[in-house]
């Protein structure tokens, strides 16, 4: 099963997610998944790779191609919002993720000018814990 983690800018969010996956998912789950880090830039990709991804790639085309075959895609909700991450995340990237048949696990982190009604703001560590719990139930 291919689990893709997408991040941009400094890659800290994606790296934190991958670290938590490596530490908190049972070994039996980790054995049956391939964690693929996709960064919008080399810094984000490198940080996610250091956090424990099995594979990594960088850039728009990587996100487009790998999203097609992913089983699960993880990231902040910015990965389905064109021009997010201060413009670093393109329309093509957002379209590819949104159109993917993969299950998408999106973390509701603040985005400039976007507010989700009905989503209660929570500290980042709590959101990541919930993400890992959900992933554990899926696997």
Q: At how many degrees (to 10) do helices 60-69 and 91-99 cross?
A: 0
Tell me what pLDDT residue 27 has.
96
pTM, to two decimals:
0.95
Domain 2-138 grouped into CATH 3.40.50: yes
Give the C-alpha separation, 128 to 17, whole Å. Answer: 7
Give the C-alpha separation, 114 to 18, whole Å. Answer: 26
pLDDT, tens digit, for every residue of 68-110? 999 999 999 999 999 999 999 999 999 999 999 999 999 998 7
Give the C-alpha separation, 72 to 105, whole Å. Answer: 7
Tell me what pLDDT residue 114 has.
81
Compute the mean pLDDT over every residue in the chain, rounded to the nearest whole number. 96
Tell me what pLDDT residue 16 has.
98
Give the C-alpha separation, 33 to 36, whole Å. Answer: 9
- Name the one residue in this structure whose structure tokens are 């890992």: 132
- 3-state DSSP call for residue 56? strand
Q: How confident is the model at residue 117 (pLDDT cuts 50, 70, 90)?
A: confident
| Structural contact between residues 62 and 41, judged by C-beta atoms closer than 8 angstroms | no
Give the C-alpha separation, 83 to 103, whole Å. Answer: 22
């Amino acid at each position: 099963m291919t689990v893709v983690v997408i991040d941009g800018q400094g890659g800290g969010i994606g790296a934190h997610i991958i670290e938590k996956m490596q530490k908190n998912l049972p070994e039996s789950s980790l054995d049956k998944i391939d964690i693929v880090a996709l960064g919008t830039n080399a810094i984000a990709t490198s940080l996610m790779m250091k956090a424990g991804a099995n594979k990594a790639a960088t850039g728009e085309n990587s996100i487009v191609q790998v999203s097609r075959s992913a089983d699960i895609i993880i990231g902040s909700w910015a990965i389905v919002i064109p021009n997010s991450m201060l413009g670093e995340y393109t329309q093509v990237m957002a379209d590819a993720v949104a159109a993917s048949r993969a299950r998408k696990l999106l973390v509701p982190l603040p985005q400039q000018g976007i507010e989700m009604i009905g989503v209660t703001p929570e500290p980042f560590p709590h959101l990541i814990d919930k993400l890992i719990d959900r992933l554990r139930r899926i696997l």
